[in-house]
Amino acid sequence: MGEIAADVSRELRRLLESRALTTVFQPIYAFGEAQLIGFEALVRGPEGTVLQTPAGLFAAANDEGLAAELNVLCITEVLRAFSARAFPGSLFLNVSPQFILKRGFDRTRAERFLADLSISPERVVIELTEDYPAFDFPVVHESLMLYRSMGFRIAIDDLGEGFASLRLWSELRPEFVKVDKHFVTGVANDPVKAQFLRAIQDIAESAGSQVIAEGIETAADFKVVKDMGLACGQGWFIGHPAELPPACLPEDLVRAQSDAKLPVLYMPDGGLAEDFLHIAGLVQVSVGNSTMRPFVLVGIENTERRRDLTGPTQNEEDRKIAPRVGGSALFRKFLRGELLPEVKARYRTTDETAIVGESLAGLFVIETFLLEPDLFDTYIAIDPSLWWNDGALVKDAPRRLSALAGRPKTLYVAASRDDRDEMGQRFADVLKKSAPATLKWFYQPMPEETHATIYHPAALGALRRLFKP
């Protein structure tokens, strides 16, 4: 055993002196953009030795008290290799928290080194592993804030493998969180793993982090992860680690991407002569510039919009807007019993649904949210006509909201300066007092807009805020 240890020690020191490391890169794929956004760099020692794998390499370095020297060598060699290959996108750089804890970081020298390699700090993501004790949190946090001030972004690796990363996620709010492959590989056939990923995605949306699912090895897992709305994936199905990964995406991945399911956004008052083209343009541009997840947009052309989009009213002035009003319950029955099942049967869709509407269609959105909240997951109401029936929906909202407890829903309401009787603000006041904790709601007053101009800017803001990749 002593001779073996001595041989490993000599081999490690020769490696450090000769810089005999091999760097390979594994691609990271963004589902929303349908393209690679970067590469994780992985180092390898001499082939056929105990130092070949990162685990063996760093275990030997720790035993010899050379972990800091090995970290410096790995970082510099990875950066040189990334620069030499002129890869597009970001570099995910594995850095040991123990190395970050070391004092003596020279910011000026680091910036000069990166400049010489033509790599901006904004392209580098510092990827942390789990090997840090709880009492080091304040120091790790302080050091990472310095790196972030330089432009570096932060990722937490192997979420789910231990508890430390959960605390760091809460305190640091990293740009990326990488879920341990244990919870990803086989997720297509494991409801418990799927539930774990959904929970992580929910937290990520609140924390402003993007989730990267590691360990995607099959088309089935790829589709499930994508359909859940996770931002990125990594694994053998996307690409094996290689010194020079292929420039083209694998055919199986391209096929799986095209077969993936999409959530659905429904749009009452959505005929070609109404507002469909406005919202369709916003969705197309937003998906194209990666500020919104892809959705199927279903425009619904109402035969009698003022009948279909209004509920019963006792106000005689309301009844004067059209020969027939108060048909919202029947229109909702059509959505529930005919349109939604037809869309589900005809197209590849996820279970996620949303509805958007303005003016009377906004009124219908709010009414549906209060009367039948389980019909959709997300409700977007722009300048809704809440004055209808003397504001009955607003008056009844506290009672209706109390029945929402335990049902996660999202509601977005925007109001222009033409909001009659400030009903939008009054509804927002009710939400402040009565909304359950499971309701994620947003109220956006837009006094710079009129009822005629609000739809386009308000819808753009809602789509970007609620459906960001």
- Are the C-beta atoms of 153 and 125 separated by less than 8 Å? yes
**9 has a pLDDT exceeding 70:** yes
Q: How far apart are CA 204 and CA 182, in angstroms?
A: 19
Sheet holding 349-358, edge to edge: 296-300, 262-268, 349-358, 378-382, 409-416, 439-446
pLDDT tens, 342-379?
A: 999 988 898 899 999 999 999 999 999 999 999 999 99
**The pairing of beta strand 349-358 with beta strand 262-268:** parallel
Q: Is 429 exposed, middle or buried (0-12, 13-18, 19+ CB in 10 A)?
A: middle
> Which pLDDT belongs to residue 260?
74
- Does 430 lie in the same domain as 297? yes
pTM (predicted TM-score) = 0.59
Instruction: Indicate which CATH number applies to the domain containing 286.
Output: 3.40.50.1820
In 3D, which of 277, 278, 290, 283 has the Cα closest to residue 265? 283
- Are the C-beta atoms of 235 and 214 separated by less than 8 Å? yes
- Does 387 lie in the same domain as 239? no
The pLDDT-based confidence of 429 (bands split at 50, 70, 90) is very high
- Does 274 lie in the same domain as 248? no
| Residue appearing with tokens 């006041």 | 429
| Residue appearing with tokens 């804030």 | 145
Kindly state the average pLDDT of the residues 92-117: 83
Q: How far apart are CA 74 and CA 21, in angstroms?
A: 8
Domain of 80, in residue numbers: 2-257
> Which pLDDT belongs to residue 1?
42
Query: End of a domain among 257, 291, 314?
Result: 257
Kindly state the average pLDDT of the residues 32-61: 85
The pLDDT-based confidence of 134 (bands split at 50, 70, 90) is very low
- Does 60 lie in the same domain as 205? yes
pLDDT tens, 225-273?
A: 998 889 999 999 999 999 999 888 898 998 888 777 889 999 999 988 8
- Does 294 lie in the same domain as 225? no
- Are the C-beta atoms of 330 and 311 separated by less than 8 Å? no
Helix H or strand E encompassing 138: helix 137-149
Structure tokens at 302: 């109402």
- Does 215 lie in the same domain as 329? no
pLDDT tens, 173-213?
A: 899 999 999 999 999 989 899 999 999 988 888 888 999 99
> Which pLDDT belongs to residue 431?
96
Q: What is the mean pLDDT of the chain?
A: 89
pLDDT tens, 160-172?
A: 555 566 777 888 8
The pLDDT-based confidence of 40 (bands split at 50, 70, 90) is very high
HSE of 272, CA atoms in CB hemisphere, 13 A: 0
> Which pLDDT belongs to residue 135?
44
The DSSP letter of residue 335 is I
> Which pLDDT belongs to residue 100?
74
The DSSP letter of residue 250 is P
- Does 279 lie in the same domain as 226? no
> Which pLDDT belongs to residue 184?
95
Instruction: Indicate which CATH number applies to the domain containing 153.
Output: 3.20.20.450
- Does 167 lie in the same domain as 121? yes
User: DSSP readout, 55-119?
Assistant: HHHHHHHHHTT-HHHHHHHHHHHHHHHHHHHT--SEEEEEE-HHHHT-S---HHHHHHHHHHTT-
Q: How far apart are the first and last CA of the chain?
A: 53
Kindly state the average pLDDT of the residues 149-154: 93
How many domains in the chain? 2
- Does 282 lie in the same domain as 199? no
Kindly state the average pLDDT of the residues 287-301: 89
**46 has a pLDDT exceeding 90:** no
Residues 6+ apart with CB under 8 A from 124: 79, 90, 91, 93, 114, 152, 153
The DSSP letter of residue 319 is H
Phi, psi of 195 (to 5 degrees): -65, -40
**144 has a pLDDT exceeding 80:** yes
Structure tokens at 69: 């020297």
- Does 251 lie in the same domain as 270? no
**5 has a pLDDT exceeding 70:** no
- Does 269 lie in the same domain as 232? no
Query: End of a domain among 257, 278, 303?
Result: 257
Q: How far apart are CA 95 and CA 34, in angstroms?
A: 28
Structure tokens at 33: 């953009």
**440 has a pLDDT exceeding 90:** yes
What's CA 339's distance to the chain center, in Å?
28
- Are the C-beta atoms of 149 and 118 separated by less than 8 Å? no
- Does 291 lie in the same domain as 149? no
What are the residues facing 179 on neighbouring strands? 159, 213
Helix (H, G, I), strand (E, B) or coil at 298: strand
Measured between alpha carbons, how far is residue 276 from residues 280, 310, 362 in Å?
Answer: 6, 20, 14
Query: End of a domain among 233, 257, 281?
Result: 257
Structure tokens at 300: 């619904």
pLDDT tens, 371-411?
A: 999 999 999 999 999 999 999 999 999 999 988 877 789 99
Nearest-5° Cα angle at 120, 119 to 126: 95
Kindly state the average pLDDT of the residues 7-19: 82
